[in-house]
Amino acid sequence: MNVTILDDYFDTLRTLPSFRKLDGHSVTIWTDHVEDVDARAKQATSAGAKVLRPVEDQFYGDRAGTFQDPFGHVWTITTQEEVGLRGAEAAAAAVKPAIAIAIEGGITGDVFPGRAEETQAKLGAGPGIFLFDSSALPNRKLTQLVKQTAAAKKLPLQTDLVQGYGDDSAELQRSNGGVPTVNLVVPIRYTHAHNGIMNRRDFDQMVDLLVALLQKLDKATVDNIRDFTPQ
């Protein structure tokens, strides 16, 4: 998933609340494994994005950059996967997000026949949300907001519990004294391989879900998600 995915939804995005008005709040959407970061960066800036961190070769072997779209949302685009979460760590330090949304390709369960504990995601059943993995704990309030948003938009939402691997939201979660995070996934068969299989409808529904979710993130909602006071 990369910043250009939302281009087709410009008329909808035009209605989003601007996070520049949220008294310092920002939403970071971490995106990874884009083949040509420079081309994506050019598309982003051509659409009005502001460069926060220029695309450069990083000391940890990646090529990455960070941008802010006209609505105030912050996007980080990289060329490689977690690599020990080095890229996510650098992005979190630069952006200092109020909340963070990671978007990943989620491994489908049929890759591990007879081992449901590995993952439960299915192709064609809609986007998913991690409720557990080996590296991060999703924020309960943000998770509930994702579920409510999917239900309101009548979008399918798979819940997935995985073991054996984690995701970039782990480093974002630990940054800056603790950041509410959630990891959303498009189910993919054969990840980390030369070829993978994705259901286009799952992809489109993920975009619809993300757009609807961002529309709900006004200042009051972000403040509530960030409130860790025991109830």
Instruction: Report yes or no: 102 and 76 within 8 Å, Cβ to Cβ.
Output: no
| Mean pLDDT across 129-133 | 89
Picking from 63, 210, 76, 95, the residue whose alpha carbon sits closest to that of residue 146 is: 210
Regarding whether 194 and 110 lie in a shared domain, the answer is yes
Least confident of 53-67, 78-92, 169-183: 78-92
Report, as residue numbers or ranges, the catalytic residues.
Answer: 81
Half-sphere exposure of 188 (CA within 13 A, CB side): 17
What was the pLDDT predicted at 29? Answer: 55
- Reported as a pLDDT band with limits 50, 70 and 90, residue 82 is low
Instruction: Single out the residue in 96, 117, 133 at which a domain terminates.
Output: 96
Is the pLDDT confidence value at 109 over 80?
Answer: yes
What was the pLDDT predicted at 11? Answer: 42
Regarding whether 194 and 131 lie in a shared domain, the answer is yes
Q: What CATH number does residue 170 fall under?
A: 3.40.630.10
Regarding whether 136 and 216 lie in a shared domain, the answer is yes
Q: What is the pLDDT of residues 32-58, one digit of tens each?
A: 566 788 888 888 888 888 888 888 887
What was the pLDDT predicted at 100? Answer: 87
What was the pLDDT predicted at 31? Answer: 57
Regarding whether 113 and 49 lie in a shared domain, the answer is no
Regarding whether 183 and 106 lie in a shared domain, the answer is yes
Regarding whether 150 and 46 lie in a shared domain, the answer is no
Q: What CATH number does residue 84 fall under?
A: 3.30.720.110
Regarding whether 192 and 144 lie in a shared domain, the answer is yes
The helix-helix angle for 140-152 and 219-226 (nearest 10°) equals: 140
What was the pLDDT predicted at 153? Answer: 96
Regarding whether 137 and 84 lie in a shared domain, the answer is no
Name the domain count of the chain: 2
Picking from 97, 180, 177, the residue whose alpha carbon sits closest to that of residue 139 is: 180
Neighbours of 119 (CB within 10 A): 26
Is the pLDDT confidence value at 60 over 70?
Answer: no
What residue numbers bound the domain in which 148 lies?
99-226
Is the pLDDT confidence value at 165 over 80?
Answer: no
CA 41/CA 3 separation, integer angstroms: 9
Q: What is the pLDDT of residues 92-106, one digit of tens each?
A: 777 788 888 888 888
| Mean pLDDT across 125-141 | 90
* pTM recorded for the entire structure: 0.72
Query: Highest mean pLDDT: which of 73-82, 111-120, 198-207?
Result: 198-207
* SS3 of residue 56 by DSSP: strand
Secondary structure letter of residue 47 according to DSSP: T
Mean pLDDT of the chain: 79
The total number of residues written for the chain in this structure: 231
At 161, list the tokens: 């519990």
Instruction: Single out the residue in 96, 123, 144 at which a domain terminates.
Output: 96
